[in-house]
Amino acid sequence: MKEASPAKAYALHLGVIVLLFALSFVLPEYHHGLLARIMVLAVFAMGYNMLFGYVGLLSLGHAMFFSAGLYGAGLAVIHLGWSVPAAFAAGLACGALLALVIGVLALRTSGVAFMIVTMMFAQVFYLIILYFAAWTGGDQGLVVPQSARVLVLGDTSLGLTNPTVRYMSALVLFSIVLLVTLAVARSKYGRVLVAIRENEERTKMLGYDTFSNKLAAVVVSGTICAASGAAYALLFGYVGSTFASVQYSILPLLWVLLGGAATTLGPLIGTLFMYYVVDITSGYTSAYLLIVGIALILLVLFFPKGILGTIRQRWLGWLP
């Protein structure tokens, strides 16, 4: 990998953020709402990418971190009447704590066993949500009341149901996570993670504590996914067990694979592309899972590096 000039990389990312900001004023209403949702879900994909792309750990259970944030924030508002910032923090805390516990356990395994263990923990989490239906609403889910979704900043109060506020909140979260990912990817810590992915034994021999580095990556990844979930609950006002099902562990994998693993902008591109493919095809057929399935197989067969991964390999070596 060629050494990127930091100015070029940061300029590109700021450019993407400015573009998304500008789009807010020109997009028609429908796509405006869709893009807000995509940005929140892209945060989920970026969290997934942190572990899958950089550390090379393929988890099949990230839906539990997303839904830990979703339920942590949603239930705090619904049952405890917490304010929006407090609920968001609660969602983050739930995700971080869960990621810590799961990380300590699951990192004892590797490879295929890691995939199955994470899938099983996610399944347990999903079943627990169904079991405590009295509080979680079970498979019906719960609606976060509109009156509670108001962000009070000093004297002004912003209703998160307002499309512009919603879009801008999504953009702020997205931008922070994007820049954090970029900073981590370029930092010394990020290099250690990539070293673990490429050759764990050798990294260990060089004196790095690979277990605690991996554990930190699981916690960071889980917390970012929880941030996405918490934002989803607060911005779109719905928490439901579907978000904890296996399908929502597979989707971020698909988005990251499509956009390009271990690229900072790949998760956004993958999410954007897949969301629109599904949105357009669902106009013709209800079989959107068929598209997901075919996309997964074609990607692993012919396109394992994804869109940005291929571009980086062929043309733009400096792409972070």
Give the footprint of another protein on this chain (CB under 8 A). Answer: 58, 60, 105-106, 108-109, 111-113, 115-117, 120-121, 123-124, 127-128, 130-131, 250, 253, 257, 287, 289-290, 292-297, 299-301, 304
Nearest to 124 by CA among 75, 68, 43, 73: 68
Instruction: Give the torsion sign (CA, 33, 230, 106, 196).
Output: positive
Q: Which is nearer to another protein, 187 or 247 (CB)?
A: 247
- Read off the amino acid at residue 275: Y
Q: Which is nearer to another protein, 119 or 144 (CB)?
A: 119
Closest approach, Cβ 128 to another protein, in A, equals 6
Which neighbouring-strand residues pair with 42? none
User: In the chain, which ranges are E strands?
Assistant: 142-143, 150-153, 156-159, 238-239
Residues for the chain: how many in total?
A: 320
Q: Which is nearer to another protein, 101 or 316 (CB)?
A: 101
**What is the DSSP code (8-state) at residue 53?**
I
Contact 320/273 with Cβ under 8 angstroms? no
Q: Which is nearer to another protein, 111 or 207 (CB)?
A: 111
Closest approach, Cβ 292 to another protein, in A, equals 5
Backbone dihedral region for residue 87 (phi beyond 0: left; psi -120 to 50: alpha; all else: beta): alpha
Q: Which is nearer to another protein, 54 or 167 (CB)?
A: 54
Closest approach, Cβ 274 to another protein, in A, equals 13
Instruction: Give the torsion sign (CA, 240, 223, 187, 175).
Output: positive
Closest approach, Cβ 4 to another protein, in A, equals 28
Backbone dihedral region for residue 125 (phi beyond 0: left; psi -120 to 50: alpha; all else: beta): alpha
Q: Which is nearer to another protein, 121 or 174 (CB)?
A: 121
How far is it, in rounded angstroms, from Cα 94 to Cα 128?
A: 15
Q: Which is nearer to another protein, 80 or 105 (CB)?
A: 105
How far is it, in rounded angstroms, from Cα 254 to Cα 250?
A: 6
Closest approach, Cβ 131 to another protein, in A, equals 5
**What is the DSSP code (8-state) at residue 4?**
P
| Helix 63-80 with 210-236: angle, nearest 10 deg | 50
Closest approach, Cβ 295 to another protein, in A, equals 7
Q: Which is nearer to another protein, 128 or 176 (CB)?
A: 128
Closest approach, Cβ 300 to another protein, in A, equals 5
How far is it, in rounded angstroms, from Cα 199 to Cα 39?
A: 33
Closest approach, Cβ 69 to another protein, in A, equals 21
